[in-house]
Each structure stands twice: as structure tokens, then as C-alpha cells.
Structure 1
Amino acid sequence: MDGTALVPDDLDEARAGDDAAFHRLVAPLRRELHAHCYRMLGSVHDADDALQDALLRAWRGIAGFEGRSSVRSWLYTVATRTCLDLVAARGRRALPMDLGPAASEPVLDDAPVTDVAWLTPYPDTALAVVERESVELAFVAALQHLPGNQRAALLLFEVLGYPAAEIASMMATSTASVNSALQRARRLVADRVPPVSQQRTLARLDDARLRALVEGYARALERRDAAALVELLTEDVTWSMPPLPSWYTGRDDVMGFARAVPLGDCGSWRAVPTSANGQPAVALYLDGPATTGQSGPGCHRAWSFTVLTVRDRAIASLTSFLGPEVFRAHGLPTVLA
């Protein structure tokens, strides 16, 4: 239903300047507004900033809200326009495959690229099952290739269900412009997003097989078991590790990288199964040369947060987000003692 469960006088009191009433008004919508900002921006950090800014704009403008739309629609209008300003100022978020071709040999001296705004994973524990499809990694990554107006139109229409005429009002444009933006956006997204979503793929997968994929990947790294890892992968599997620019495609090249780096002499791994973007994920902690001086003996530090994409009962893509800030965003410790 389009609206919020209000205390009868909340809207009037908020218009009169009651801060507590305003917070009661927006509280039921904060989570879904945050997810909308993430879809628009491809970054949890940017979504945090956008939501904070949008709610500040809404508070400053609440006295002028005339009630011609629901509070929910009005807040989505404010949030969308805030995100469009950020898209214009900050550009789009990327994954390594957006920057260049796959590496054919393991890149052992790969250095983080800091002048690229990287896509980040989204904590999905607060999302309902029906909402998780709209934050899947491939979908959010595809959205980043759209201009801001097409991105907003597609999300407001396809994900949130607003009619084109209302979207035109929300975006201060014409219905014809919205329909044109939708047509272009659908074509690009269709080219970049698999025809079967992860939610449908996972729903068709029995629990035992999904557990075998997630735990199998975790145990293969902990035990440096190349034979076990290769059995989990599709023939055309990809592996990327933002903010490192190199990425790998095809089972042979992926395993070449795996044997040289994570399964090589880099230290010991500990793995914690989790989830992100409506997909299974594994948080990996490392105790080895790269963490020397950062922890005591036997301490494993946050290293990579890997989101798994599944197809045909196997792992089709590994996206390993490096750095402790990803762990913090997902409520995970940065050190395992």
C-alpha cells in the first residue's frame, strides 16, 4: 500500500515544526528509501549520504507539502532528486570488467586503483525476500551504465510500480520523456542482466546443494584445496576483486589465479558464510604476510567479502570486495581472534 501508518496528527505536527512527529512519519520508510538510494548509486556509503541529505531536504520542505500525493511518494521524489544530484556530481560505480579485458595470466603485483568509484555490496538482512531481486549484483551493476534519468525512471516504474505520469511529476519532466527513458533503459539492462534472477535460481536450488556451494568454497580456501574448488565452478566462471583492476574469466584462468594467490603461500584463511545483495556470500579473513604487524599470532584480519553468483547448480561468478570497510558495513568484525 502506498502510504504510512500515521499517528493522526503526525503530518500536521511535522508541518508545524515538530521534529519527533517528522521522525515518526519517515521511520517506516527509511529502510526502503535506503535501498532505493543504493540501487541508484551502487554504494552503501553513498546511499547513507543520500538518505541523510534527502531526509534533511524533506524536513526543511515539510511545511510546504500540500498532500497532493502520499507521504511515501513525496519522500521518494525527494530521495530520487537527491540521488540524481549525486549521480551528476560523482558519476557511476564500476566493477573491474567495466575497465578492460580479463587477464590471461595471474597478476601477482596488482595494486588497488583508488581513482575509480567502485560498486559495493549491500547488506540484505533487513530486506524482504521480494525486495532482494532488485538489489542483485548484476542488476545494480547494470544500472550504473544508465544515465541518471533512465536509472530513476526504470527503478520507479519497474521496482516501485509508479505509473509513468506520476514518475514524470516526480522527475519534473514529461510522460513522453519518461516512456522514452524506460525503453532505452530496458534495452541496456536486458543486455547485461541474466534472464533468470538469482532469487529464482536460488529458489530452484535445494538447500543441500546451496550449502555445498557456499561451504565448499569456504573450505576449499581454508584447506587450499584446488581440486575441491574447481568442482564448484561453471566453465565460464568469472572472478573479480575490486579495487584491484584485474579480473579473470573461464575456469582455467580463474584456477590459475586461485592457485597462484589465494591457494598459494599467502597465509591461512578463515571463512564466515553470510549474504549480500540477495545472494550467498563468504567473508574471508587472512593471517599471513599481508597482515604482518596488524595483528597478533593466530589473529585473522578482514580481507575479502565474496559475493557468489550461482547458475546451473554451480558458481558462475565470484566478486570479492577487498577491505575492512566492507565488513563493517555488513556488521562483521574486522578481526577474528
Structure 2
Amino acid sequence: MTGLGAGADELERYRGELTGFCYRMLGSGFEAEDAVQETLVRAWRRYDAGRGPLRPWLFRVAANVCFDMLRGPQRRARAMDLGPAAVPGAPLGEPLPDRVWVQPVPDGRVLASAGDPAEAAVARETVRLAFVAALQLLPPRQRAVLILRDVLAWSAAEVAALLGTSAASVNSALQRARSRLPALPPAPGEDVDERLLARYVEAFERYDVDALVALLREDATLSMPPFAWWLSGREAVRAVLTAAAASGPPCGGSRAVPARASGSPAFAQYRDGTAFALVVLETAGDAVAHVTTYLDPRLFRLFGLPDEFGGPAPY
């Protein structure tokens, strides 16, 4: 068995793009990290130059690791994929297991900091929660083909070599995958995410319902994994927030720390100085289209965020 030895640094060069591939395949930042770590361990133990160039070999291993992890009937989804919107005032219901949910990933783990602007835009759009959730509808091999061809721009021959099949088979799988998914969304124009996030965070810390709702699209959605409960429409969100405020702001004293998650602006919510939730804001133009509040403090460590932070909001 031949190891890379001093090639550990070379392996690390590929961690980011491997993580992006595995995240799109698996729909979970935690599982993507595990898959990449397993891929690099196998590469350290088994790779030698006789196997061919390192990069395609790593992706072949990563694809096989993902295929193994995807065995079973459960696909990850968003609340909107699981049932109709809740009526304001309806109970949250029982929390669902972690394996049900498409989860966010830190942008820094999957998106390059520089490069061609068009490629960067495609990379950002294809790690957004809605697109990753749509990918989960595809069988694993079709999913891999679409990611490699349409997102990473591999040729049909390269993908065929990776999957051990023919270019004609790859093209057929790609056609079937494209027919089940919408076209890749166009790159957004002006990037207003940071300014929009700042306005949303300020309104959130104040628990200013009117200001929060004013930043939403009319057809905005709001969801809170691990609950299947979700809301559709700005007025439904207003009704729930207003009712919650009647007995005192439910998030009074919260602090919000900006972050970036799955190609979108986000913030970490601390209640009484303790990690509480990661809130992902998917935007459309100058408004918020989807708010996903992950009530899972484990995400804070994945995002490099502390478990404790500061004191109450200064409002």
C-alpha cells in the first residue's frame, strides 16, 4: 500500500471543492464534512500516481462515499416539501429527526473566495437551500451527473470515467436529471445581501414586527426545522409574530451575529448569551423570500461560532 506521505498539503487543496460536491449530494454540512474526511483518509492510504491524476481520483472516491451514505429511502427536504403551510395559531407539532432536513453549510467551506465571477455565481446559487433540496429528488447517480456536468463543468467523458460508464449513458442521465429540475437560476444582479441582512438583524433584535414584515416578499415563507410547521405569505408571518409579541417579545434579549450559509446571508441567534438558532435568509432582489430558522445549536461549531456570546441586545 502506497501512501502520499508529505502529500497531505496537496490533499487539502481539494477539500473545498470536494465539500461543495458532497454537500450538494448529501444535503447536510455535517455529512459533507464526514464524507470529505473519509475521502481524504482513503486517498492518504491508497493513492499512488499509477491510479491517474489526483483530482479525478478524489472525486471518484467522494462519489462512492456519497453513494454509500445515500443508501436508504429517506431523502432530506425542507418543510415546504413535507406538507401544506400551517394556519397561524396552529401548534408546531413534534420535532422530526435530523435526517429529514436539508441543512446549511458555511460558505467558507464550499465557495472559493476568488475566481471567474460567472463560475462563482453558479457555485453560490447551487448551494442554496432550495436548489440543494431539489437535488435530493434525483437518484444518487443522476444527482452526481448533474452536479459534475452542470455545476462543476466536467465533460461527459470525464464523468463517464469517474462513474465507470459511457459518455452516452452520462448524457442520457443528465437529460433525465435536467427534466426533473428547474434550470439553474440566473446569477443575481446587484448584491444587496449584506445591507439587507443588517436591516433584518436590527429589526430582529428590536423585535420590530412591522420592520421585519416590511423586509419580506408578499409570498415569503418561514420555517423552523426540526418542526414541519411552516408559514406562507407575509400576512401569515405578521399574524404569528404579532400574536407572539402579545405576551412579551419571545426573543427578547437576543443577539444576532452575521454569518453566511449555503450561498445566502444568515445570522446566529443567541438567547441570554447562549447559542439558540441559525437563521438563513434567502433573498430575491431587495427583499427576503425565505426565512429558515434552524433550532440546532450544533450548527454553531460547524460555522466556527462560539457557544456563548456577549449580553442582551442594546435595545
What interval of TM-score do these two structures reach, taking the shorter chain for normalisation? 0.7 to 0.9
Give the alignment of 1:1-337 within 5 angstroms: 16-21=2-7, 23-63=8-48, 66-68=50-52, 70-89=53-72, 91-114=74-97, 116-126=99-109, 127-128=111-112, 130=120, 131-190=123-182, 195-196=185-186, 200-201=187-188, 203-205=189-191, 207=192, 210-261=193-244, 265=248, 266-268=250-252, 269-287=254-272, 300-337=273-310
C-alpha contact 1:307 1:319 (8 A) present in aligned 2 = yes
Query: Which residue identity is paired with 2:64?
Result: R
For residues 45-89 of structure 1, the C-alpha deviation after alignment (integer angstroms, 9 at most, x for no partner) is 1112111222233334324x5254x21111111111111111124
For residues 165-218 of structure 1, the C-alpha deviation after alignment (integer angstroms, 9 at most, x for no partner) is 221221122322211211121122217x6x33xxx32x414x5xx444212221
Distance 1:103 1:67, change over 3 A: same
Distance 1:246 1:31, change over 3 A: same
C-alpha contact 1:40 1:152 (8 A) present in aligned 2 = yes
Query: Which residue identity is paired with 2:255?
Result: R
The alpha-carbon deviation at position 93 of structure 1 amounts to 1.5
Q: When the two structures are superposed, what TM-score results if normalisation uses the length of structure 1?
A: 0.81
In 2, the alpha carbon distance for the partners of 1:74 and 1:213 equals: 41
Root-mean-square deviation (Å): 2.2
SS at match of 1:190: coil
Query: Which residue identity is paired with 1:99?
Result: L
In 2, the alpha carbon distance for the partners of 1:133 and 1:223 equals: 31
C-alpha contact 1:230 1:255 (8 A) present in aligned 2 = yes
In 1, the alpha carbon distance for the partners of 2:86 and 2:209 equals: 20
In 1, the alpha carbon distance for the partners of 2:149 and 2:59 equals: 12
Which is worse superposed, 87-96 or 75-84? 87-96
Distance 1:160 1:29, change over 3 A: same
SS at match of 2:179: helix
SS at match of 1:237: strand
Distance 1:59 1:33, change over 3 A: same
Distance 1:115 1:74, change over 3 A: closer
Query: Which residue identity is paired with 1:307?
Result: V
Unaligned runs of 5+ in 2: 114-119, 311-315
C-alpha contact 2:16 2:112 (8 A) present in aligned 1 = no
SS at match of 1:47: helix
In 1, the alpha carbon distance for the partners of 2:124 and 2:245 equals: 30
For residues 9-29 of structure 1, the C-alpha deviation after alignment (integer angstroms, 9 at most, x for no partner) is xxxxxx7435333x1331211
Distance 1:118 1:185, change over 3 A: same
C-alpha contact 2:275 2:300 (8 A) present in aligned 1 = yes
SS at match of 1:110: coil
In 1, the alpha carbon distance for the partners of 2:259 and 2:175 equals: 36
Distance 1:273 1:94, change over 3 A: same
Which is worse superposed, 308-317 or 86-95? 86-95
SS at match of 1:335: coil
Is the radius of gyration larger for structure 1 or structure 2?
Answer: 1
